[in-house]
Amino acid sequence: MILVTGGCGFIGSAFVLGWLQDRDEPVLNLDLLTYAGHPGNLQAVSGDPRYLFVRGDIGDQQLVERLLAEHRPRAIVNFAAESHVDRSISGPLAFAQTNVVGTLKLLEAVNAYWRALPAPAQADFRFLHVSTDEVFGSLAADAPAFSESHRYEPNSPYSASKAASDHFVRAWHHTFGLPTLTTNCSNNYGPRQFPEKLIPLIIHNALRGKPLPVYGDGRQVRDWLHVDDHCLALRAVLATGRPGESYNIGGRSERANLDVVHAICGALDRLRPRPGGAPHAELVTHVKDRPGHDRRYAIDDGKIAGELGWQPRVGFEEGIRGTVQWYLDNQAWVESVTSGSYRDWVSQQYTGLATAA
């Protein structure tokens, strides 16, 4: 079996659902169920004998040691993290706790387990650490895309914590020989993304006729990848990636934030017109910029494409249409995750942001 951490979140749940759809190998999911983790994301497999869920912290070394001894996984896929940049600005300590200390404790437990495995199982074992392109910092408009050898220059508390975790993973390979793999992926979108992130937040607000907050001038560029493509890339890396290596993953879809917001508005105008027919784009509101806001991310995916034959399948326009449709069809999911704590976050984050630009 494989052990997945953070499997109740956005990408982890897509990974578990895709895995169990295609393969017989069981999955053990260790998730703390923070505000971002929803067991309902995995309702489709909750009765499946190949799926096992344990609520717990990757930083609880004793628990992880016990789970490893009991279930003897052949691989770990580490999704568990605090993942939202804005939250890392207002409360960075949780990011250090889970992303840095948690990953370190997980590595300690996994390394002890791995060292005690018989030689063939040791050789086959993999620890896949799911990281982000944000560790590389910000690119100028005309700069070449991030390759795996780009210097680490994290700018936010979130990216600093992910960079630290990447360095620990690297060190556990270099020092102890643990067969690690690291992936650095660009912005994901798709079903079940928590509506604190740009795309689901814009859909959520637009459907309620609320302002669509665009930070600063909205010309910041991200490279968007459908979550299902990311999960296929992770499976390719797990299957045939070289231990000790890192792989960049991207969507070949660089877009300015304003263009993303307008694409969502256009899809909604067609799928769910506003009463009276006014365009959703009328709701766009420029607000104060994110402190230290990275201007541009872009991925050079030559290594994963060349070595592992992976490339994105879902085009951005098709992916956005499908994502908007998913949120329209799953408003009950949205209602269930946007509880009191979600409303507290929105009011803390957006109330009083002066209109800019």
Residues with catalytic roles: 133-134, 158
231 contacts ligand DAU (rule: CB under 6 A): no
- Closest residue to bound ligand DAU by CB: 132
Helix pair angle (103-115, 61-71), 10° resolution:
40
Q: What, of ligand DAU, ligand NAD, none, does residue 8 touch, CB below 5 to 8 Å by kind? A: ligand NAD
312 contacts ligand NAD (rule: CB under 6 A): no
Give the integer Cα–Cα distance in Å for 130 and 183.
5
246 contacts ligand DAU (rule: CB under 6 A): no
162 contacts ligand NAD (rule: CB under 6 A): yes
Residue number, 105 or 197, with CB nearest to ligand DAU: 197
Q: Which of residues 131-160 bind ligand DAU (CB under 6 A)?
A: 132-134
32 contacts ligand NAD (rule: CB under 6 A): yes
12 contacts ligand NAD (rule: CB under 6 A): yes
Find the shortest distance in angstroms from Cβ 354 to ligand NAD.
27
Q: Which of residues 193-212 bind ligand DAU (CB under 6 A)?
A: 197-198, 201
Q: What, of ligand NAD, ligand DAU, none, does residue 337 touch, CB below 5 to 8 Å by kind? A: none
228 contacts ligand DAU (rule: CB under 6 A): no
Q: Which of residues 88-117 bind ligand NAD (CB under 6 A)?
A: 98, 102
Number of residues in contact with ligand DAU under rule CB under 6 A: 19
- Closest residue to bound ligand NAD by CB: 9
Q: Which of 161, 173, 181 is nearest to 98 (CA)?
A: 161
98 contacts ligand DAU (rule: CB under 6 A): no
Phi, psi of 112 (to 5 degrees): -65, -40
Q: Which of residues 21-80 bind ligand DAU (CB under 6 A)?
A: none
187 contacts ligand DAU (rule: CB under 6 A): yes
Sort strands 221-226 and 254-256 into parallel, antiparallel or unpaired: antiparallel
Find the shortest distance in angstroms from Cβ 216 to ligand NAD.
20
- Binding residues (CB under 6 A) for ligand NAD: these are 5-6, 8-12, 30-34, 36-37, 57-59, 79-81, 83, 98, 102, 130, 132, 162, 185, 187-188, 194
- Binding residues (CB under 6 A) for ligand DAU: these are 83-85, 132-134, 186-187, 197-198, 201, 213-215, 220, 222, 257, 290, 297
